[in-house]
Amino acid sequence: MSIDVRHVSKTFNGFAALRDVSLRVAAGELVALLGPSGCGKTTLLRVIAGLEAPDPGGSVGFGGALAEARRIGFVFQHYALFRHMTVFENVAFGLRVRRGPRRLDEAQIREKVSALLRLVQLEMLARHHPHQLSGGQRQRVALARALAVEPKALLLDEPFGALDARVRQELRRWLRRLHEELRITSIFVTHDQEEALELAERIVVLNQGRVEQEGSPAEVFHRPASEFVMNFVGSVNLFHGRLVQGRPVFETAPGAPATRFCSRPHELEIETRRDGGSSLPARVVRVFDAGAHVKMELRGREGQAWHVELNPERYRELGLRSGQEVWVRPRRFRVFPAGDGSFPREPI
């Protein structure tokens, strides 16, 4: 089933959570809604699920499924499992409340719930209550419960938000495999760019209730449409200066209106000697030498914070220590037109 969000706005007591959002999700697609907290991503998910009504003028359409089969599964951030029911009864709930010709008898319910518990690898825990389970297990129960009604679309609100890093990694891969197997149209909400980049086939970046950019993970990462997107899907180093014949010239004197140059940490070049006019002086504040890249924190003359990632060979070649004076030069940079796309604060 495809999902077609058309001009949806949503206002809560004068606060505009969504402003004219339009979005198409193709059947079988796995889409991430990515954005900082308060950007409206959960509201959008709830509008699609029918848990909130959009403001007049907006609508959500579903295509490719008969009206009576337009079921949408929703997995809540905190799972919202029924505490007084066993795992089995939680998963069976959607089948038990069914009325009419599609109603299943007890044996069919047992069979179906057992199959779902096998799918989420929880058949051993069928008789447990939710409070006896770990976070990752609860998450899987919530998923099995949503899948029990054979949804044509699956909506997940921060599916891994409440889990620790390792479980998150595992569940992410598992969910990806599950999606490849079942091919249910899925939308998940996250504020974790890594999660979005790794799991989604397409990413929709939201900011202050608007769609900031839509595209594949590679597009969003390598060709960000605005400074906000660039900052949100990775770290950004900011340089102020002027563009002179396609080359950046960095003014060390602040005050005059300047162009903002954005570079990723791995796009910075570090030198121990000054190299022409496009370098800036900085001091090495901290070095993190545990990982595939050496990460460094630099501080400029005016207190600017810059983050650099070097490959270990280059790091050793330069022989850097913390406290050392160096020169920084952005090897690659992007300039975005000034506007509401700019990030309101200095890069982290």
Partner 1 sequence: MSHRALPGFGLCLGCSSAYLGLVVLVPLAALLAKSAGMDWAGFWGTVTQPRVLAAYRLSFLASLAAAGVNAVFGFLTAWVLVRYDFPGRRLLDAAVDIPFALPTAVSGIALTALCAPGGWLGGLAGRLGVRLAFTPLGVVAALTFISLPFVVRALQPALRGLDPEQEEAALTLGATRWQSFARVVLPALLPAHLSGITLAFARALGEYGSVVFISGNMPMRTEIAPLLIAVKLEQFDVAGAAAVAAVMMAAAFVLLAAANFLQLRSLHGRA
Beta-strand runs (E) in 168-279: 185-190, 202-207, 210-215, 237-244, 247-249, 259-263, 268-271
Residue 146 has, within 13 A of its CA and on its CB side, a CA count of 25
Going residue by residue from 130 to 169, which x/- string records binding to partner 1, judged by CB under 8 A? ---------------xx-xx--------------------
Smallest gap from Cβ 74 to partner 1, in A, equals 4
Residue 74 within binding range of partner 1, rule CB under 8 A: yes
CB atoms within 10 A of CB 169: 15
| Dist CA 18 CA 43 (whole Å) | 7
DSSP structure class, residue 131: G
Closer residue to partner 1, CB minimum distance, 99 or 166: 99
State the binding string over 284-323 for partner 1 (x if CB under 8 A, else -): ----------------------------------------
99 DSSP 8-state letter? -
Given the complex with partner 1, which of 72 and 200 has the nearer CB atom? 72
* CA–centroid distance for 57 within its chain: 28
Closest distance to partner 1 from the beta carbon of 142 (Å): 8
- The stretch near partner 1 (CB under 8 A) out of 30-38, 82-90, 202-210, 213-221 is 82-90
Min dist. Cβ of residue 86 to partner 1 (A): 6
Interface mask toward partner 1 for 51-70; x: CB under 8 A: x-------------------
| Residues comprising the chain, all counted | 348
In angstroms, the CA 294 to CA 310 distance is 5
Q: How far apart are the first and last CA of the chain?
A: 40
Residue in 64, 82, 302, 317 binding partner 1, rule: CB under 8 A: 82
Residue 127 found at the interface with partner 1 (CB under 8 A): yes
Residue 327: DSSP 8-state: E
Helix axes 165-182, 135-148, angle to 10 degrees: 20
Q: Which is nearer to partner 1, 98 or 301 (CB)?
A: 98
Which is closer to partner 1, CB of 127 or CB of 314?
Answer: 127
Q: How many CA atoms lie within 13 A of 150 on its CB side?
A: 8
CB-CB contact of 306 with 282 (8 Å): yes
Helix or strand holding residue 3 (H, E): strand 2-12
Looking at the Cβ atoms of 86 and 324, the one nearer to partner 1 is 86
| Least distance between partner 1 and beta carbon 198 (Å) | 27
Beta-strand relationship, 30-34 and 185-190 = parallel
- List 26, 85, 182, 258, residue binding partner 1 (CB under 8 A): 85
Residues in contact with partner 1, counted by CB under 8 A, come to a total of: 27
Dihedrals φ, ψ of 46, to 5°? Answer: -70, -35
Alpha-carbon gap, residue 100 to 173, rounded angstroms: 38
- In whole angstroms, what is the distance from residue 212 CA to residue 42 CA? 16
Q: Which is nearer to partner 1, 8 or 45 (CB)?
A: 45
Nearer Cβ to partner 1 (49/305) = 49
Under the criterion CB under 8 A, does residue 112 sit at the interface with partner 1?
Answer: no
Site string for partner 1, 180-219 (x = CB under 8 A): ----------------------------------------
Residues that bind partner 1 (CB under 8 A): 49-51, 71-74, 76, 78, 80-86, 93-94, 96-98, 127, 129, 145-146, 148-149
